[in-house]
C-alpha cells in the first residue's frame, strides 16, 4: 500500500474506459517509461460491466491501435426498419470492457504501474500542486487524471437531462438465428411506453448475441420491467434461448455543462470531461480521439479541453428536448433519418464531421414540427433578442426619413404597449392569488394607489430624490427580470440592470440630460462610460448565453436611435416580453387568459395616462421631450407598486 510520504508522477483516479484509452495512447508513445504511475479505482474491474461499440472507417487508426481489445466487427447494418445494408468502407466494432481492463492490467504488470482498489474521497490542489485523498491520506503527484463520474447537479431551467438506460442479455439461441457480420442498431418494434425505446442486436456468432433494450427517458428504466420486455422480444424473435450473461447500465444524456477541474494539473477525463455525446450517449471513440490528442501534448501544460462545436451542442439540445417533451416523436424522427440518409452519412453527422451544407440538407428532410416546437421551447430568448435586433435595424434604416421613423415608432410603440407593455404590469392583482378575487379588489386598489401617490408626493416634494429612487428601483426591476430569465444572483441582476439603464441614458446623453433637467430641475452628467456595459460581453460569450449576446448587439445598435425608441425597444421588446413569459409560464396560463385578466387595469392605465398628459403643462406638446418628462413621472408612479408586486412574485417562485 502507498504511504503518504510517497509521491507519484501521475495518479489516475478511476480505471475505466477513458483511463484505459489514455494509458494505451501514452504507452504507445513511451511517455510513461520513466514515470511512477498510480491507478486507483474503487472497483476491482474483474467483470465485464459494459460493452463499448463504435463505428470507424476501415483504414482509421483506432482499429489498429485497439486491435488487441476489439472483440468483433460488423460490416452490415440493419437500422430503424430499413433493410440490411453493407456499410460502405466502414465497420461497427465492439470492445468488451473486461478485455480492456485486462489489457491495462497486463500493461501495468509489465511497466510496473501500481494499481490499488480504493475509493478516492477527494481530488484537490494547493500551492504544492495537485493531490488525491484516500482514507485520510494525501497522495501527491505532478498530475491527476480524474475520471470519476461527474456529479450531475440539479439541471437549470433551460437544461435538458435524460437517461439512456439499458438492459442487455448475452444470449445463446438453440438454432442459428444471426448473421455474425450484421448487427441491428435501432429496432423500434418494442412498446414505446411514453419513452423512446428500441433494441440493439449485436451477434458474435450464428447462435450468440448481445440483445439490449435501450430507453431514452426522463426516468431510468426499471430493470425488472425491462427484462420482461426484453424476454418478450427475444422469445418472439428467436424462441427459447439460454441467457449467458446480463448487462445493465445507464448513460446521462444532458445539455448541462460540467464544471472544470479548477487546476491545470488536474485533468478531467471521459464522462467527467463532457465527452459523452448528449444526444446519443456514445463516447468511446471521442475518448480515444481525445486521448490521442492529450498524449500528443502530454508534456505541455495546457489541458486539451474538449469543446463541442456550438451548432452541434444546439442540435443535441433540440433532439434531447424533443425526446424529453415529446418522446413519441423519437421513433418517427430516427426512422425518417435512416430512411433518407445512408448509415455512413448519419455516422459522419454524429461524429460532428459533416459539412454544414450536408447537415442542412439532412436536417430539412426530418419532420419539421417537433424541431420548431423545441426551438420555441429552448431558444425563445435568443429568438426574441433576434426579433428585437431586426426591429432595431428597421428603425435605423427608417432613420434616413425621420418622419417615417417617428411614425413607425408610434405604431409599434402603441401596439407593443397595448399587447404586453402595459398588460404585463396590469396583472399584479392576480400575481398573489392566481385569479381575480372581487372581494380583495378594493383593498388591492387602495394599497396600489397609495404606493403610487406616495411616490408622486416624493416627486413633488423632492424631485432629485424621486429621480434617484426611480433610477435605482428601475435598475433593480430590469435586472431582476433578466436575472429570472438567466437564473442569476440578485447582485449580478442588479449590476446588469444598472449597466443597461446607464447605457440607455448615457448613450443618449443630450436627450436624457434634457429630460432629467425637466424632471428634477438639476443638470446631469455621467462620469462613467455607458459602454462599460460591454464588459458583460466576454461573460455572456463564456457562458454561451446567445440571447444575452444578441441583447448586447441590439443595445449597441440602439445607441444610434432616439432615446424614446431605444427605451421603447428595451421596455417592450425585452423587459415586458420577458415579464410576460414569466407570468404565463409560472401561472401556467395562456397569454390570452392573462391579457383578458389585465384588461380592467390596462384600460385604466390608458385613461390615467391620457388624463395625466392632458392636465400636465406641456403634456400634449408636439415636442416629444416636453411630454417625455411627465410620461416618465407617470410611469414611475404606476410602476413603483408593480416593481414591488413582481419582486414578491419572483421571490415566491424562487423559494417554492
Ligand atoms: C452500460 C454502458 C454502455 C455504454 N456503451 C457505450 C458504447 O457502446 N459506445 C460508446 O461510445 N459509449 C458507450 N457508453 C458511454 C461511455 O463510453 C462510458 O460511460 C464510458 O465508460 C465512460 O468512460 P469513463 O472513463 O468516463 O467512465 P467509466 O468507464 O465508468 O470509469 C470511471 C471509473 O471510475 C471509478 N470510480 C468512480 N468513483 C471513484 C472513486 N471515488 N474513487 C475511485 N474510483 C472511482 C469507477 O469504478 C470506474 O471504474 C456506455 C456507457 C454505459 C454506462
Average pLDDT, the chain: 91
pLDDT of res. 475: 96
Q: Are 198 and 188 in contact (CB under 8 A)?
A: yes
Residue-wise pLDDT tens digits, 616-630: 776 666 666 667 777
Residue 441 lies in a domain: no
Residue 383 lies in a domain: no
Gap between the Cα atoms of 288 and 620, Å rounded: 72
CATH code where residue 231 lies: 3.30.70
Q: Are 76 and 185 in contact (CB under 8 A)?
A: no
Has residue 372 got a pLDDT over 80? yes
First to last CA, the chain: 49
Residue 422 lies in a domain: no
533 with 454, same domain? yes
Confidence of residue 310 (pLDDT cuts 50, 70, 90): confident
284 with 324, same domain? no
Gap between the Cα atoms of 203 and 238, Å rounded: 12
Mutation pick for ligand 1 pocket among 2, 22, 42 (CB with most ligand atoms within 8 Å):
42
CATH code where residue 118 lies: 3.50.50.60
Residue 65 lies in a domain: yes
Residue 427 lies in a domain: no
503 with 649, same domain? yes
99 with 199, same domain? no
How much distance in Å is there from the Cα of 286 to the middle of ligand 1? 13
Task: Kindly state the average pLDDT of the residues 167-172.
Answer: 96
What total number of domains does the chain contain?
4
3-class secondary structure, 287: helix
Q: What is the DSSP string of 139-203?
A: EEEEEEEE-SPP---PPPTT--EEEEEEEEEEEEESS----TTEEEEEE--S--TTSEEEEEEEE
Residue 387 lies in a domain: no
pLDDT of res. 629: 74
Mutation pick for ligand 1 pocket among 51, 98, 283, 289 (CB with most ligand atoms within 8 Å):
283
560 with 577, same domain? yes
pLDDT of res. 88: 85
How much distance in Å is there from the Cα of 74 to the middle of ligand 1? 23
pLDDT of res. 656: 60
551 with 590, same domain? yes
Residue 224 lies in a domain: yes
As beta bridge partners, residue 252 has 163
Gap between the Cα atoms of 254 and 96, Å rounded: 25
The 3-class secondary structure across 410-451, one letter per residue, is HHHHHHHHHHHHCHHHCCHHHHCCCCCCHHHHHHHHHHHHHH
pLDDT of res. 7: 86
641 with 578, same domain? yes
Look at the pTM and tell me if it is higher than 0.85: no
For 451-481, give one letter per residue: b (16+ CB within 10 A) or e.
bbeebbebbeeebeebbebbbebbbbbbbbb
Q: Where are the beta strands (DSSP E) in 79-113?
A: 85-86, 90-96
pLDDT of res. 620: 67
85 with 130, same domain? yes
Instruction: Select from 351, 377, 403 the last residue of a domain.
Output: 377
How much distance in Å is there from the Cα of 124 to the middle of ligand 1? 21
- Cα–Cα distances (Å) from 293 to 70, 231, 296, 313, in that order, read 21, 42, 5, 21
29 with 144, same domain? yes
Gap between the Cα atoms of 209 and 201, Å rounded: 6
Q: What atom of ligand 1 comes closest to residue 45's alpha carbon?
A: 49
Q: What is the dihedral of CA 576, 579, 581, 584, to 10 degrees?
A: -120
557 with 632, same domain? yes
Residue 413 lies in a domain: no
Gap between the Cα atoms of 274 and 268, Å rounded: 9
Q: Where are the beta strands (DSSP E) in 230-277?
A: 241-254, 266-268
Residues 6+ apart with CB under 8 A from 364: none
359 with 462, same domain? no
Residue-wise pLDDT tens digits, 327-336: 999 999 999 9
Task: Kindly state the average pLDDT of the residues 397-425.
Answer: 93
As beta bridge partners, residue 139 has 132
As beta bridge partners, residue 254 has 161
Output 366-369 pairs: Cβ under 8 A, ≥24 positions apart. Answer: 366/333, 366/336, 366/337, 366/340, 367/329, 367/332, 367/333, 367/336
Gap between the Cα atoms of 91 and 70, Å rounded: 12
Q: What atom of ligand 1 comes closest to residue 282's alpha carbon?
A: 11
Residue-wise pLDDT tens digits, 234-271: 999 999 999 999 999 999 999 888 888 888 899 999 99
Nearest CA to ligand 1 atom 16: 283
295 with 206, same domain? no
Confidence of residue 309 (pLDDT cuts 50, 70, 90): confident
Has residue 62 got a pLDDT over 60? yes
Query: What range defines the domain where residue 353 resides?
Result: 312-377
Q: Of 507, 22, 500, 573, whose CA–CA distance to 286 is shortest?
A: 22
Gap between the Cα atoms of 183 and 206, Å rounded: 12
Does the CB atom of residue 291 touch ligand 1 within 6 A?
no
Least confident of 51-65, 284-298, 369-383, 552-566: 369-383
Amino acid at each position: 500500500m502507498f504511504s503518504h510520504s510517497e509521491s507519484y508522477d501521475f495518479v489516475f483516479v478511476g480505471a475505466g474506459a477513458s483511463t484505459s484509452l489514455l494509458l494505451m495512447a501514452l504507452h504507445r508513445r513511451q511517455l510513461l517509461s520513466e514515470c511512477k504511475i498510480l491507478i486507483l479505482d474503487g472497483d476491482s474491474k474483474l467483470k465485464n460491466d459494459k460493452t463499448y461499440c463504435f463505428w470507424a472507417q476501415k483504414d482509421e487508426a483506432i482499429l489498429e491501435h485497439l486491435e488487441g481489445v476489439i472483440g468483433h466487427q460488423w460490416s452490415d447494418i440493419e437500422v430503424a426498419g430499413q433493410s440490411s445494408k453493407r456499410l460502405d468502407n466502414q465497420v461497427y466494432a465492439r470492445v468488451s470492457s473486461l478485455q480492456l481492463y485486462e489489457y491495462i492490467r497486463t500493461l501495468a504488470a509489465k511497466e510496473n504501474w501500481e494499481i490499488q482498489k480504493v475509493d478516492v474521497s477527494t481530488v484537490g490542489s494547493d500551492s504544492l500542486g495537485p493531490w488525491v485523498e484516500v482514507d485520510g491520506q494525501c497522495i501527491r503527484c505532478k498530475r491527476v487524471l480524474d475520471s470519476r463520474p461527474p456529479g450531475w447537479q440539479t439541471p437549470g431551467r433551460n437544461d435538458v437531462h435524460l437517461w439512456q438506460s439499458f438492459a442487455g442479455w448475452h444470449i445463446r439461441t438453440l438454432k442459428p438465428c444471426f448473421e455474425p457480420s450484421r448487427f441491428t442498431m435501432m429496432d423500434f418494434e418494442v412498446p414505446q411506453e411514453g419513452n423512446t425505446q428500441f433494441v440493439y442486436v449485436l451477434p458474435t456468432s450464428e447462435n450468440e448475441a448481445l440483445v439490449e433494450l435501450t430507453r431514452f427517458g426522463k426516468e431510468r428504466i426499471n430493470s425488472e420491467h425491462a427484462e420482461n420486455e426484453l424476454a418478450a422480444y427475444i422469445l418472439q424473435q428467436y424462441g427459447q434461448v439460454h441467457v449467458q450473461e446480463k448487462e445493465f447500465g445507464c448513460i446521462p444524456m444532458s445539455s448541462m455543462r460540467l464544471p472544470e477541474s479548477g487546476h491545470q494539473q488536474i485533468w478531467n477525463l471521459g464522462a467527467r470531461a463532457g465527452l459523452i455525446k448528449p444526444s446519443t450517449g456514445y463516447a468511446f471513440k471521442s475518448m480515444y480521439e481525445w486521448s490521442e490528442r492529450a498524449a500528443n501534448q502530454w508534456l505541455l501544460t495546457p489541458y486539451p479541453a474538449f469543446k463541442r462545436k456550438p451548432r452541434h451542442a444546439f442540435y443535441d439540445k433540440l433532439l434531447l428536448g424533443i425526446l424529453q417533451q415529446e418522446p413519441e416523436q423519437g421513433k418517427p424522427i430516427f426512422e425518417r433519418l435512416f430512411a433518407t440518409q445512408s448509415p455512413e452519412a448519419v455516422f459522419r453527422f454524429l461524429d460532428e464531421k459533416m459539412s454544414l451544407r450536408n447537415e442542412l440538407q439532412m436536417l430539412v428532410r426530418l419532420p419539421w414540427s417537433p424541431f420548431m416546437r423545441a426551438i420555441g421551447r429552448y431558444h425563445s430568448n435568443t429568438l426574441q433578442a433576434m426579433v428585437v435586433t431586426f426591429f432595431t435595424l428597421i428603425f435605423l434604416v427608417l432613420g434616413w426619413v425621420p418622419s417615417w421613423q417617428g411614425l413607425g415608432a408610434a405604431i409599434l410603440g402603441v401596439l407593443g404597449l397595448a399587447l404586453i407593455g402595459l398588460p404585463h404590469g396590469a396583472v399584479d392583482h392576480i400575481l398573489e392569488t392566481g385569479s381575480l378575487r372581487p372581494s380583495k379588489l378594493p383593498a388591492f386598489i387602495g394599497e396600489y394607489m397609495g404606493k403610487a401617490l406616495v411616490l408622486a408626493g416624493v416627486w413633488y416634494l423632492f424631485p432629485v430624490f424621486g429621480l434617484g429612487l426611480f433610477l435605482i428601483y428601475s435598475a433593480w426591476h430590469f435586472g431582476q427580470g433578466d436575472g429570472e430569465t438567466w437564473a442569476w444572483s440578485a447582485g449580478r441582476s442588479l449590476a446588469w440592470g444598472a449597466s443597461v439603464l446607464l447605457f440607455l441614458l448615457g448613450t443618449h446623453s443630450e436627450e436624457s440630460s434634457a429630460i432629467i433637467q425637466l424632471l428634477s430641475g438639476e443638470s446631469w452628467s455621467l462620469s462613467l462610460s455607458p459602454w462599460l456595459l460591454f464588459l458583460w460581453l466576454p461573460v455572456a460569450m463564456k457562458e454561451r448565453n446567445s440571447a444575452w449576446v444578441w441583447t448586447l448587439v441590439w443595445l449597441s445598435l440602439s445607441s444610434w436611435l432616439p432615446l424614446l425608441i431605444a427605451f421603447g425597444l428595451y421596455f417592450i421588446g425585452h423587459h415586458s416580453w420577458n415579464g410576460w413569459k414569466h407570468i404565463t409560464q409560472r401561472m401556467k396560463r395562456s397569454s390570452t387568459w392573462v391579457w383578458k385578466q389585465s384588461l380592467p387595469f390596462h384600460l385604466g392605465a390608458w385613461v390615467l395616462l391620457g388624463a395625466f398628459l392632458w392636465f400636465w403643462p406641456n403634456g400634449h406638446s408636439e415636442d416629444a421631450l416636453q411630454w417625455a418628462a411627465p410620461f416618465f413621472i407617470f410611469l414611475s408612479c404606476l410602476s413603483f407598486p408593480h416593481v414591488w408586486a413582481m419582486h414578491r412574485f419572483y421571490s415566491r417562485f424562487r423559494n417554492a
